[in-house]
Amino acid sequence: MSAIEEVKSRLDIVEVIGERVPLKKSGRAFKGLCPFHQERTPSFFVFPESQRYHCFGCGAGGDIFTFVMQMERLEFPEALRLLARRAGVMLHPPTPQEQEADRTRRRLGEICGEAARFFQEQLAGPAGATARAYLAQRGIRPETVQAFALGYAPDRWEALSSHLRERGYSEAEIRMAGLVVEREEGTGSYDRFRSRLIFPIRDLQGNVVGFGGRALDETQQPKYLNSPQTPIFDKGALLYGLDQAAPAIRREGRAVLVEGYFDVLAAHQEGFRNVVAPMGTALTAAQVRLLKRMTRRIYLALDADQAGVLAVRRGLEAIREAMDERLVPVPTAQGLVRFERELDGEVRIVVLPAGRDPDEVILADRKEWEAHLAQARPVLDFVLEQIAQGADLETARGKREAVQQALPLLSEVHDPVEQAHYVQRLAHLLRVDERAISAELRRPTPGPRSGARLPAEVDEGTGALAGRPMDREEVVEGYFLALLYRFPDLWEALPAGVDALLSREEHRVLLGMLPAGPSISAGAELRRYLEDLLNRFRPELSPELARRALQDCLQRLEALANERERREYAEVLAQAQEEGNRELAQEVSRQLSILSQRRWEIAMPPPRRLFPDARRYLGDEEAQGES
């Protein structure tokens, strides 16, 4: 048994959560006030049988590892360490290679910390006069400069690097930290950041891991420059300001995403502390995962031009051109709706007047900013309205084009009640019969979901190879991950929101590390766990068959998740009705009816034996049929 499994087998989730959240028995489950959102009556449930928890208020849920990660803001390896200590499970000591990688990361962290101090001193000193004046002109006050540890990189080729060398850091280390650029000719290097205002970028724990620099001279290119990817800096997995914003995001139950550094500074300065910014990339899955641990409600602040572009659903490249290389947090409307599903929450669009950035609005009039936030529209409402406004409603052709434009968005909505709502809405906006839109929507479209649904034999079974009984979820999830790790190309074909179907946090973490696979920093245990898993499941398939096996796995994963959730929700519903908690009963039965409807869609194809290689995991028993 791996250490991860051993920790799980020794600890009881009810006990671990019960120490943080007072729990009361409710039928076969336990309930309490959700620690992840504010509520007066309990909608947070812990299920001893599946060793999982779920909140019907905010949607938080997972296993014992998820809980500790969410509660303590830890990454998986740290959560594992904490729980292993408690369970008395010895973890493998790190390998020499891992120790070395750890040492490097620590060292790079120190260098970045030292560089940040150096930049800060420069900003405060005589060299920083221009930068200070620029900050003052942008309305940023000294206490904000202090709180975000802003700095200045002097206009010299080796100011920082010679400072760091004096402190004993080697040329190679400084280069690895991304602070210098190699000279094209000859040898040596020069400072990456020169004559720039510096924004230190911190991780969730507040350690400086990289930098952003803004040009102070209008002729200097590019206007914004970031640290390159380093062993500690991955801009796609960080959000600027999140370390400072995290408590407010949890407290207020929402995060506001803006475009740039100055927007974050201005917002925090004026007391809007739940504001963060991606750094020049479209939102990544890693960023969504970060936010998801704190909230399921995201507000996206766009200026009117961007919002308009968003609505016509052009690709990222087109937006880039149109916006003159400005940073657009999310590429397309469809991307946003999908992102909403991945978040399992709600995305709202805050529309600002054309040409005005959040920082201008906030600094000019905080009431105006509040008003814009209050008027934020759910993303789909917003986009459908934009589509209707752009359509020629006088002609049949114009209406048809508008419907065609909206269909891919509507099909992203899986909740049938919600989908029906938006169909109605669109019908009203376009003045067409809603039955016509529904009919269009039901027409099969090519795509991963409606494509080949080929049941394999990867579930039902005892996995005799493993030397201990495995449950069906474990077999299907294991086979699924093994497929993805053996055929990395398949990763691109994954629909959004798959991680929500996995029952185990370690599996979600491994899925999140694709396609590159776990890095050294993922920790020895997780990498051992994966090795184990890849030994246990060895799909021997052609790429084409692998693709079909993946579709099959997806279907089975959803069926299993559906079964698990229906069982748990039914239990909660029965208790809520018995206790006369009407509000909860209503919410749970709403979710339950979605699950029940989905169940029939998933369970359609009969099981057939298609993948001979899967038999090895299944024993000889015929599948027991879908439940």
Binding-site ranges for Zn ion (CB under 5 A)? 34, 36-37, 55, 57-58
Report in angstroms how near the CB of residue 67 gets to Zn ion at its nearest.
12
Report in angstroms how near the CB of residue 339 gets to Zn ion at its nearest.
20
Distance, in Å, from the CA atom of 239 to the CA atom of 582, rounded to the nearest integer, reads 39
Residue 325 near residue 87 (C-beta atoms within 8 A) = no
Which residue, 19 or 621, has its beta carbon nearer to Zn ion? 19
Which residue, 55 or 430, has its beta carbon nearer to Zn ion? 55
Residue 359 near residue 266 (C-beta atoms within 8 A) = yes
Output the six-digit token pair for 476. Answer: 């299907």
Distance, in Å, from the CA atom of 7 to the CA atom of 80, rounded to the nearest integer, reads 8
- Please state the length of the chain: 627
Report in angstroms how near the CB of residue 35 gets to Zn ion at its nearest.
8
What DSSP string describes 326-353?
---S---HHHHHHHHHHHTSEEEEEEEP
Report in angstroms how near the CB of residue 330 gets to Zn ion at its nearest.
25
Q: Which of 104, 101, 279, 281 is nearest to 175 (CA)?
A: 104
Q: What angle do CA 433, 436, 437 make, to 5 degrees?
A: 95
- Which amino acid would we find at residue 108? L
Report in angstroms how near the CB of residue 296 gets to Zn ion at its nearest.
9
Looking at the DSSP bridge assignments, the partners of residue 45 are 31, 54
Report in angstroms how near the CB of residue 570 gets to Zn ion at its nearest.
20
Residue 297 near residue 254 (C-beta atoms within 8 A) = yes
Report in angstroms how near the CB of residue 293 gets to Zn ion at its nearest.
12
Report in angstroms how near the CB of residue 57 gets to Zn ion at its nearest.
4
Report in angstroms how near the CB of residue 44 gets to Zn ion at its nearest.
6
**CA-based diameter of the chain, in Å?**
79
Which residue, 55 or 267, has its beta carbon nearer to Zn ion? 55
Output the six-digit token pair for 521. Answer: 């920093």
Q: What residue spans of 271-395 are helical by DSSP H? A: 285-292, 304-311, 316-322, 333-343, 358-364, 366-374, 379-390
Which residue, 60 or 337, has its beta carbon nearer to Zn ion? 60
Report in angstroms how near the CB of residue 511 gets to Zn ion at its nearest.
23
User: CB neighbours (10 Å) of residue 417?
Assistant: 11
Which residue, 55 or 437, has its beta carbon nearer to Zn ion? 55
Distance, in Å, from the CA atom of 419 to the CA atom of 404, rounded to the nearest integer, reads 16
Q: What are phi and psi of 402, to 5 degrees?
A: -65, -40
Report in angstroms how near the CB of residue 559 gets to Zn ion at its nearest.
26
Residue 8 near residue 64 (C-beta atoms within 8 A) = yes
Report in angstroms how near the CB of residue 455 gets to Zn ion at its nearest.
35
Looking at the DSSP bridge assignments, the partners of residue 152 are 197
- Using CA atoms of 37, 43, 47, 48 in order, give the dihedral in degrees to the nearest 10: 80
Distance, in Å, from the CA atom of 293 to the CA atom of 1, rounded to the nearest integer, reads 29
Which residue, 33 or 285, has its beta carbon nearer to Zn ion? 33
Q: Residue 238 contacts by C-beta under 8 Å, 6 or more apart in sequence?
A: 201, 203, 209, 210, 279, 287, 290
Report in angstroms how near the CB of residue 588 gets to Zn ion at its nearest.
14
Give residue 312's Cα distance to chain centre: 25
Which residue, 55 or 140, has its beta carbon nearer to Zn ion? 55
List Cα–Cα distances, 38 to 24, 43, 55, 215, in angstroms: 18, 10, 11, 42
Which residue, 54 or 508, has its beta carbon nearer to Zn ion? 54
Report in angstroms how near the CB of residue 587 gets to Zn ion at its nearest.
12
Distance, in Å, from the CA atom of 620 to the CA atom of 461, rounded to the nearest integer, reads 9
Which residue, 505 or 587, has its beta carbon nearer to Zn ion? 587
Distance, in Å, from the CA atom of 301 to the CA atom of 347, rounded to the nearest integer, reads 11
Which residue, 13 or 34, has its beta carbon nearer to Zn ion? 34
Which residue, 45 or 369, has its beta carbon nearer to Zn ion? 45
Residue 427 backbone class (left: φ over 0; alpha: ψ -120 to 50; beta: rest): alpha
Distance, in Å, from the CA atom of 608 to the CA atom of 455, rounded to the nearest integer, reads 6
Which residue, 55 or 520, has its beta carbon nearer to Zn ion? 55
Which residue, 56 or 240, has its beta carbon nearer to Zn ion? 56
Which residue, 37 or 507, has its beta carbon nearer to Zn ion? 37
User: CB neighbours (10 Å) of residue 506?
Assistant: 24
Which residue, 20 or 435, has its beta carbon nearer to Zn ion? 20
Report in angstroms how near the CB of residue 37 gets to Zn ion at its nearest.
4
Using DSSP, state whether 452 is helix, strand or coil.
coil
Give residue 181's Cα distance to chain centre: 32
